[in-house]
Amino acid sequence: MLLHLHRPGPPLDRFVELVTYYEGFSPDHTKEKLLPDGAVEIIVDLTDTPKRLYHPHDHSRFTAFREAWISGMRREWIVIEAAPGSAMAVIRFRPGGAYPFLRFDVDEITDAVHGLDVVLGRATAALRERILESPTIEGKMRAVEAWLLGRARGALETNPVIDYLAGRLFAPAGIRIADVVEEIGYTQRHVLGMFRRWVGLSPKQYGRIRRFQQVLTSVVRRPGESGLEEADLALRRSPPDEPDWADVAAAHGYYDQSHLIREFREFSGLTPGEYVASYRGLENYLPLD
């Protein structure tokens, strides 16, 4: 499989965390469980084969998506098709980063996946066509950046309140949301509403997902690894050794091991031990068959 990871330069780097391009995907499974990761993503399918999004609890039910779709912030896992021969470009936004490009409140697509044409209209076709027309990977990345800049229409301004609050929620566990809101100086109601519009979740919900993600990283990342850059190697990995979950819970600010287990079940449908046993190299993608 060809995998290319692109981090945009200024000014897009303040809004877009990563653009991933891959082709020739050849999984040994047909479905994947995708865990909530605290990001809004635009997915552009570069093949003509529709891809399935399955009902998380009944895989006989599914919705098929073609060409491009957008996945909002998620508070629960979803189940997606792992189709052989897939080729895709994925735009992953930073917290609050999607708002200037969507031009609507981001919480309108929370816990949902929509065809990109449904929310952005004809702009969808322009994005996909530009990527397909570019013969090189570098050209495809330039096409994505040009499309994003066109969507923004010069209005690329971050929200300093969102940047500050989201940044504080990236810090180690133990931060109280009320304390951070008080630091900002606005009323709690104003900050909560702003955060939902820009990020798609409440600060508390987002903080819980960030902490869950920090746990996943701590139990599967090996010394010296930098995460996504190791993705192609990681796909060939065996599960890591299971840690002492009581120690993990304490290190990340959970009340106790039971609290950690409840969070794991809510976000992944698995116990921490079941997650480690299912892990195959990518922290948020678990093969289902």
Residue 17, in any domain of the structure: yes
Structural domain for 38, as ranges: 2-152
Q: Is pLDDT above 80 for 257?
A: yes
224: region left, alpha or beta (phi > 0 left; psi from -120 to 50 alpha): left
pLDDT at 182: 82
Residue 216, in any domain of the structure: no
| pLDDT tens per residue across span 168-180 | 876 655 567 788 8
Q: Beta partners for 234?
A: none
pLDDT at 224: 54
Q: Give all strands (DSSP E) within the chain, no chain letters.
A: 2-6, 16-25, 31-34, 41-45, 51-55, 58-65, 68-71, 78-81, 86-93, 113-115, 285-287
Two structure tokens written together for 6: 């692109």
Q: pTM for the full model? A: 0.92
Residue 59, in any domain of the structure: yes
Two structure tokens written together for 154: 């010069």
Residue 233, in any domain of the structure: no
Two structure tokens written together for 194: 């702003």
Residue 198, in any domain of the structure: no
Q: Residue 245, exposed/middle/buried by CB under 10 A (0-12, 13-18, 19+)?
A: buried
| pLDDT tens per residue across span 162-220 | 999 888 876 655 567 788 888 888 888 999 999 999 999 999 899 999 999 999 999 98
Residue 46, in any domain of the structure: yes
pLDDT at 1: 87
Domain count of the chain? Answer: 1
Separation CA 127–CA 239 (nearest Å): 37
Residue 16, in any domain of the structure: yes
Residue 196: CB atoms within 10 A of its CB come to: 20
Residue 242, in any domain of the structure: no
Q: In this structure, are residues 14 and 97 in contact, taking their beta carbons and an 8 Å threshold?
A: yes
**Residue 232 pLDDT class (50, 70, 90 cuts):** very low
Mean pLDDT across 40-58: 97
CATH code for position 57: 2.60.120.10
| Residue 287 Cα distances to 58, 62, 86, 200, 283, angstroms | 16, 17, 16, 27, 11
